[in-house]
Amino acid sequence: MRFQLAALVLAGFVLAACETTPDGGGSASGTGAATANAGGSASSSVSSQSLSGGVQPGSPEDLAVNVGDRVLFGFDRFDLSAEARDTLEKQSVWLKRYPNGTIVISGHTDERGTREYNLALGERRATAVKNYLVALGIEPSRINTISYGKERPVDPQSSESAWASNRRGVTQIDSMGAKLSN
């Protein structure tokens, strides 16, 4: 227990030392649904009472709508902003509540740069997300990573706002095991 706490504190210091303010507002984290938690009024704890609109607890929709399934990155960056770390801390609480599940973290970039460069940057982004979740106590064996580089944009336009939304790390449910644990 002490080792996990020490590792968490150390990871926080290391990541805080690396943090810079990304260009173009890329420090924001978001949810899978564009309208979810738009007012920021959602509680940081995950509970059945906080679920919105009939979302099943422990489902991919629960993660996306009630916790947030993605974090955004600055241009050419893979360090985690304070807002991204906050979203990942909420994800760790959710993942601890459902310990039988595994996840895949996908790293994405905007369209600028070569395919090879963007695949490598996407991998660094996915790995940064994974490392932070592991530092928060999530078993590494529960987390897989993949980079899509610039191949799967959420916004295909060529604009600053589109590029900002495409620079992301997305946490997806891979499997939840035979039974959810509450």
The per-residue pLDDT for range 49-92, each reduced to its tens digit, is 444 568 899 999 999 999 999 999 999 999 999 999 999 999 99
Structural domain includes residue 142: yes
- pTM value? 0.71
Structural domain includes residue 29: no
Structural domain includes residue 120: yes
Q: How many domains does the chain have?
A: 1
Average pLDDT, rounded, for the chain: 79
Structural domain includes residue 136: yes
Q: How far is C-alpha 90 from the geometric centre of its chain's CA atoms?
A: 10
Structural domain includes residue 48: no
Residue corresponding to tokens 């191949």: 151
Assign 176 a pLDDT band (cuts: 50, 70, 90): low
For 128, phi then psi, to 5°, come to: -60, -40
Range of the domain at 10: 2-19+56-175
Judged on CB neighbours under 10 Å (0-12, 13-18, 19+), 13 is: exposed
At position 132, the amino acid (one-letter code) is Y
The enclosing domain of 100 has a CATH number of 3.30.1330.60
Structural domain includes residue 126: yes
Structural domain includes residue 8: yes
Structural domain includes residue 37: no
With beta carbons less than 8 A apart as the criterion, state whether 121 and 149 touch.
Answer: yes
